[in-house]
Amino acid sequence: MGWLEDESGLEKCRANYVPLTPLSHLSRAGQVFPDNEALVYEDTRYNYKEYCQQVTRLASSLKQAGILPGDVVSTILPNTPPQFEAHFGVPACGAVLNTINTRLEAKTIRYIVNHAKPKLMIVDTQYLPVLQNALTHLEGPQPTIIEAHDSLSGLNPSGQYQTYDDFLNQGDVNSKWYFPEDEWESLSLNYTSGTTGQPKGVVYHHRGAYILTMGTVVSWRLTLFPKYLSIVPLFHCNGWLHPWLMPLLGGTVFCSREVSARKIFEVITTEGITHTAGAPIILNMLANATEDEKRPITNTVQVFTAGAPPAAATLKAVESLNMNVTHVYGLTETFGHVTECLWNDSQWDSQDSDAACQLKSRQGVAMPGTENVEVRHQNKRVPKDGSSLGEIFIRGNAIMKGYYRNPKATHQAFAHGLFATGDLAVQHPDSYIQIQDRSKDIIISGGENVSSVEVEGVIMKHHAVLLCAVVAKKHTKWGEVPHAFVELKPDSSALPEQIIEFCRRHLAGFKVPKSVEFTSLPKTATGKIQKFQLRKRLQ
């Protein structure tokens, strides 16, 4: 223990120990960049002074509405200003922010509300019907509803609830924010998508959010005053923490309700966007946009992608649009991204475009703030040979506190003193990891492991293919065999045999899908393909 012989008088005190919290980023921005543009949504343009005032009003109004530190405040909001304001205003009154996925059906919303027990919910007019359905047969007391209408988008107040604007107007713009007394206090509560069983409530701490935002500056090579287009829904890992990050840099956030290729190209080119982020499916949407939707991008946009391994073909297509993609990886449990496929300037710059995209499709190495990323099999690290398969384990400061009201699942996740991700990967000689599959997605055919990601990567290279998913199909002889679900590009066509033949040219025999089905693929709100739905279809 590194304590000096005499440590008297050297204890922590108020002057030298400030609990880490992303609230500090916005509070500083309000002082340091008051006039810089902070938040833009259609005709609304807030500078940092105004953004801070909105947040102060929200925190004050929540307090007046009886919200106490530790209470849960839920939102069902698209990426509009109230959702960003809630990211600061809710913790600024000491409460815990629970952003609910806007695409959920009433039943799952009811489950979450029963579990998280929010005292108050801020809900966009668009989602009132599903919420009202969810709130019937609730176990506990009904939460207070604050309605965020959006007349700019033709969503006028329903008249049933206090509006968000009225709610904020009653707030005191001179009130003081709550800052955590302990950086381990709870900041937000994010429910997993629950592909297996019920959603689990992942609890984030102030400390982790602060440290990961600082680390992201390094990884994304961010400097002051970025112009950030918000696409990742803030109900997924709090938008990978980007709402908390931007004030640190005096950046401008461009909000969006509509996520379409046309809109994205329009904002990028008219506002001079420097940074954006989205799942590979968003990149795919941009790559496959019509000429009418596209606009030429003059300054390279730096793009983070995560949520699923991006196919090399997708990366190549989107980079030709003047977007430089960095692949990052994480889970809800890891505050969004915690590894990055760090571009190795000195050694990779000479690679051709195909090779570069292959390198970029890997999950990479620990971001700053993450201490260990290990690939382990049977309690031992696998060799860095690019072929030995193991599970990814992570240790770091951007790992959840645990699952809410579920100590058993928490204990299981942390059993080895590391967080067990459930993702299967190899580690290459340069230490970069590459996911082969979710442990439940791996296909075991005749005793051989088949990575659905690898097979999908090949199918994606076929000129007619827009998207695909490969899952295990029961087989009497081999146990399991790969089965491919394929979504074709508009106006393209292909035969199952052609896809199979294409795979045969690039893959070992046991990896080639035995059957191919053309279909529209079911997706989650982040654009993850819902393989569990596809698996059900095969049962």
Angstrom distances, CA of residue 113 to CA of 73, 277, 399, 404: 10, 29, 24, 13
Binding of residue 244 to a second copy (CB under 8 A): no
Nearest to 529 by CA among 495, 499, 493, 485: 485
Which one, 205 or 316, has the nearer CB to a second copy?
Answer: 205
Q: Could you tell me which stretch among 59-67, 74-82, 166-174, 361-369 binds a second copy (CB under 8 A)?
A: 361-369
Evaluate whether 483 touches 536 at the Cβ level (below 8 Å): no
Report the site for a second copy in 126-145 (rule: CB under 8 A).
none
- Order of strands, edge to edge, in the sheet holding 252-254? 44-47, 37-41, 252-254, 227-229, 275-278, 301-305, 323-331, 336-340, 365-366
Report the site for a second copy in 195-234 (rule: CB under 8 A).
203, 205-208, 211, 214-215, 217-218, 221-225
Which one of 259, 283, 400, 467 is in contact with a second copy (CB under 8 A)? 400
Kindly compute the dihedral angle of the four CA atoms of residues 431, 436, 441, 442, in this order, to the nearest 10 degrees: -110
Q: How far from chain centre, in Å, is Cα 197?
A: 20
Minimum CB distance to a second copy, residue 459 (Å)? 32
Which one, 298 or 346, has the nearer CB to a second copy?
Answer: 346
Binding of residue 18 to a second copy (CB under 8 A): yes
Give the interface size with a second copy as a residue count (CB under 8 A).
92
Distance CA 500, CA 92 (A): 56
Binding of residue 259 to a second copy (CB under 8 A): no
Which one, 33 or 84, has the nearer CB to a second copy?
Answer: 33
Minimum CB distance to a second copy, residue 419 (Å)? 5
Tracing tokens 């398969």 back to the chain, one arrives at 389
Report the site for a second copy in 476-515 (rule: CB under 8 A).
none
Report the site for a second copy in 321-360 (rule: CB under 8 A).
342, 344-347
Minimum CB distance to a second copy, residue 100 (Å)? 16
Report the site for a second copy in 411-470 (rule: CB under 8 A).
411, 413-414, 417-419, 431
Binding of residue 117 to a second copy (CB under 8 A): yes
Tracing tokens 């596809």 back to the chain, one arrives at 534
Residue 327: what are its φ and ψ, rounded to 5°?
Answer: -85, 125
Which one of 166, 172, 181, 385 is in contact with a second copy (CB under 8 A)? 181
Distance CA 107, CA 331 (A): 24
Binding of residue 113 to a second copy (CB under 8 A): no
Query: Which helix H or strand E contains 30, and what residues bound it?
Result: helix 23-32
Which one, 124 or 183, has the nearer CB to a second copy?
Answer: 183
Minimum CB distance to a second copy, residue 148 (Å)? 23
What beta strand segments (E) does 410-453 contain? 419-427, 433-438, 443-445, 448-450
Which one, 52 or 466, has the nearer CB to a second copy?
Answer: 52
Q: Could you tell me which stretch among 77-85, 120-128, 351-359, 408-416 binds a second copy (CB under 8 A)?
A: 408-416
CB 169: neighbour CB atoms within 10 A? Answer: 11
What string marks each residue from 36 to 75 as x (binds a second copy by CB under 8 A) or -? x--------------------------------xx-x---
Binding of residue 174 to a second copy (CB under 8 A): no
In sequence order, what are the residues at sequence separation of 6 or more whose Cβ sits closer than 8 angstroms to the Cβ of residue 151? Answer: none
Structure tokens at 272: 């001079």
Q: Could you tell me which stretch among 8-16, 231-239, 351-359, 521-529 binds a second copy (CB under 8 A)?
A: 8-16
Distance CA 287, CA 317 (A): 6
Which one, 37 or 454, has the nearer CB to a second copy?
Answer: 37
